[in-house]
Amino acid sequence: MMRNWLAAFLFGLISVVQSSAYAKDLPDFTELAEKQGPAVVNISITQNMRAENAAPFPGFNGDEQMQEFFKRFGIPLPGQIPGPNCQAPGQNGAQPEFKSQSLGSGFIISSDGYILTNAHVVADADEVIVKLSDKREFKAKIIGADKRTDVALLKIEATGLPKVTTGDPSKLKVGEWVAAIGSPFGLENTMTAGIVSAKGRALPQENFVPFIQTDVAINPGNSG
């Protein structure tokens, strides 16, 4: 009996030691979140559209459960739900106009209001609103966008803003831990983590642009 009890105790002790050693190898992203999180912004895009040109929300195809999820959190479904400015068709049979909204993320690169995001996030936008981590909102101007690299530069009229610290991608190694901060499903300043899966990736049928591939969880609203 004593021998069985001792064996069980030693097994439990070894398991605890192994778990502690494993925990020490896991990355701690708390400092990263504190330093870089305030420089990550939420981007809301509005497009004036006609019903005939409206496209369903990418990836969901009208799924009732996903629509219920979006409604519960107050997230608009672009291309599906007409806004308050919806107009009735005229006698000439014109399609009603409405405002389509979509969401994305971005990060501040200079304290005077320059912000980087993805070009597809702000493509064809009639209005771009940037919401900071301190809940302030600003209208943004699109300074420029490059479809090939999917990068866009925005500008808001503000000063003294927190900005991200950029790193050297050439020093990044496959297998290293990485984290993403964004606004998936409109849930601002959400952090997810993963590893670098590959470097130097290029999109099909595009000129070579060395993208970094990761397995970090990315959802609608994280773009940017």
**Would you name the residues annotated as active-site residues?**
120, 150, 223
Alpha helices, DSSP H only, in 45-114?
A: 64-72
Give the 3-state secondary structure of 19-60.
HHHHHHHCCCCHHHHHHHHHHEEEEEEEEEEEHHHCCCCCCC
CB 28 within 8 A of CB 157: no
Phi and psi at residue 48, to the nearest 5°: -85, 115
Encoding tokens for residue 54? 């409206």
**Any idea what DSSP says for residue 171?**
G
Point out which residues pair with 181 in neighbouring strands. 191
CB 209 within 8 A of CB 203: yes
CB 76 within 8 A of CB 70: yes
